[in-house]
Amino acid sequence: MTTGDGRPSRHVPTLEPVTTAALPTELRVRTRPIDPPAGGLLGLLPDPRGPLSWVRGGEGLVGWGEVARFTGAGAGRFADADAWWRGLLGELDVVDEVGVPGTGAVAFASLTFADRSPGSVLVVPRVIAGMRGGRAWVTEFGEPGPVTSMEPVRAGGRLRYADGALPVARYRAAVAEAVRRMRGGGLQKAALAHDLLAVADTPHDPRHLLRGLAERYPTCWAYAVDGLVGATPELLLRKRGDVVESRVLAGTIWPGSGGSEDLSADLIASVKDREEHAYAVDSLVDTLRPFCRSLDVPAEPSVLALHNVSHLSTDVRGRVRGEASLLRIAGAVHPTAAVGGTPRAEAVAAIAELEGMDRGRYAGPVGWIGADGGGELGVALRCAQLDGRTARLYAGCGIVAGSDPDSEVREAAAKLRAVREALEN
C-alpha cells in the first residue's frame, strides 16, 4: 500500500494485532532549522488532502503527506497505538539539528471518544513544519522531495444545514431525561452532545476551516487530523520530560445567557457551573495521581474568555514517576468528567444510550506525540468531521441535576457558532 506521494504506508486494520514487520527499514528522518514562514505555519499546508495541524497563537506543528498510519479501536487502543509508535521509532534513523519539543520523529494523533467506536488514528506525515519561541524547523522523512506546488485555499460555497444523527429536539429530550435520572440519585453528571450537518456546494477545504478557527480563536489549539478539524480550548495532557500538565474546562456562560453584564463574575458565582467544574477536576486528579509523584491543583478555578463563550478553567501540573508515556497516561484519564461524566462508567453508558449516535473522535484526545513519549493532546471540541461536501459539526454540554434543558440547548448552539462562523466566512 502506498501514500499519495508514492511512499510505503503502514495501515493496521481495526482490532488486528499490531506489528511493524512491513514498515520501511532504515528510514532517515532529518530535522533542520528554517526561517520562520512569512505566512505562518498554516500557510505552508500545500493542498486540501489530509492536512495535519496542532497550532496555537502561531506556534505548533503542521504536516502533510503520509509515511505510516495506525488505526485501532477498543479499550486497548491507547496501548496499541503506543506500542505501534514505539515499534516504528525503532526502525528510524533520526538526525535532529534543532532539539526542542516537536522536532525529530512526530506522529499526529486522534482517538475516539468511546471504546466501541472504530477510527482511532496515528498519522506520521512525510513533512512536518514547526515553530516554537521564534525558532522554526522542518522535519522530513526520507530524502527531501521536490517543492510541492500550493493549491489556493477555497471555501465550500453556499452552505445548507440539516439535522445530524441527533437533532435538537431529541437532544433536549435526552438532556431532560439525564436530569430526571440525576435527581433520582446515582448519576451525578453526563456530558451530552448533538450534531449538525453543513452541506456545501463543493467539497470542504480543511485549510479554510483551520484558518478561520485560528483567526477567531488564537488562544485555542487549531487542529486537523484525518478530516477532523477544530479549535479546542481544553488541553487534556501535555508531557515534557517528567512534567505533565492539563487544562480542565467545565462550566460555561455566553453573551445573552442572562444575569449581569459581568459574565465572569456570574460564572464564578454559579453553583451549577462550580459543581460541574468540580466533578471534572476531581476526575482528572483521581486518574492522574497514580502516575505522579506530586500534583499541584489550584483551590479555585479561573475564567477563560473566548470569542463566543467563557469557561471555568483549572490548570493542573504534576511530576510523573517512572517512564509512562503520554499515550499511556491519556488512556487512563480519558474521558474526564468534563466530556464524559461522573461516575465515569455510568456516565459513558448513559451517553451512549441517550445520544444514540456514534461520536467518532469528537471529545476524544487529539494532538501530537514525539519520540521521547511526550507531546500534547487536547480534547477534540469545537470541531467538524469533513467528508467531501458534508461537514458534521458537534457541540455538547455538561449536564448536572440543576441543568435546564432549554438553557443547555442554547449553550450547545453558542458552541456550534465557532465552526459555523469559520465555515461561512
What the block records as the C-alpha cell of 203 is 467539497
Q: Does the reported pTM lie above 0.95?
A: no
What the block records as the C-alpha cell of 418 is 465557532
Rounded-to-integer distance, Cα 63 and Cα 48, Å:
12
What the block records as the C-alpha cell of 131 is 515553530
Average pLDDT over every residue of 307-334: 94
Would you please indicate which residues are annotated as catalytic (active-site) residues? 189, 234
Q: Is the peptide bond before 343 cis (omega within 30 degrees of 0)?
A: yes
Specify the range with the lowest mean pLDDT, choosing from 18-22, 37-41, 138-142, 227-231: 18-22
Q: What share of the chain is helix, strand, coil (3-state, %, to 5)?
A: 25, 35, 40
Rounded-to-integer distance, Cα 221 and Cα 209, Å:
13
pLDDT at residue number 255: 82
CA atoms within 13 A on the CB side of 100: 16
In order of their start, the domains of the chain are 27-141 (no CATH), 159-219+234-424 (3.60.120.10)
pLDDT at residue number 1: 33
Asked whether the predicted pLDDT for residue 13 surpasses 80, the reply is no
pLDDT single digits (tens) 195-215: 999 999 999 999 999 999 999
Average pLDDT over every residue of 331-347: 94
Contact 71, 9 (CB under 8 A): no
Rounded-to-integer distance, Cα 359 and Cα 281, Å:
23
- Other C-beta atoms closer than 10 Å to the C-beta of 215 total 14
pLDDT at residue number 358: 96
Asked whether the predicted pLDDT for residue 14 surpasses 50, the reply is no
Amino acid found at 408: E
Specify the range with the lowest mean pLDDT, choosing from 144-153, 322-331, 345-354: 144-153
Sign of CA dihedral 16, 19, 22, 28: positive
**Polymer length in residues for the chain:** 425
Cα–Cα separations (whole angstroms), residue 64 to 4, 50, 129, 141, 146: 10, 7, 9, 11, 13
Contact 398, 338 (CB under 8 A): yes
